[in-house]
Amino acid sequence: MNTPADPLQALLEHVIRDRTALAEGRRARLGVQATDEARARMVHSLEAYTDALQASHLPVPYRLRDELRTHRSACRPGALAYVSQLAP
């Protein structure tokens, strides 16, 4: 049975997956481009999740807002645009 929370749960799972991938990439020292791509994917996941929360009239936790702002400011110019071209 599908519930209204299912889409939010799926988006949260994307955030968790991308957060883990970013952390693993930084530990593995895969290089600047790989880290930029992972961070940009993280930004897109966080944006999708926070947009869905707001559309559902649910509060966005301060920690998520802060995390989104931090990752946005850490992205190199062009990284977000590059990853958005890759997104389906």
Could you report the per-residue pLDDT of 28-87, keeping only the tens digit for each?
877 778 888 889 999 999 999 999 999 999 999 999 999 999 998 888 777 666 555 555
pLDDT in tens, 6-27: 899 999 999 999 999 999 988 8
Confidence grade of residue 88 (pLDDT, cut at 50, 70, 90): very low
Separation between Cα atoms, residue 26 and residue 68, nearest integer Å:
17
The identity of residue 7, as a single letter, is: P
Q: Would you state the pLDDT for residue 67?
A: 95
* pTM listed for this prediction: 0.80
**What tokens does 5 get?**
């929370």
Return the number of other C-beta atoms located less than 10 Å from residue 64's C-beta. 16
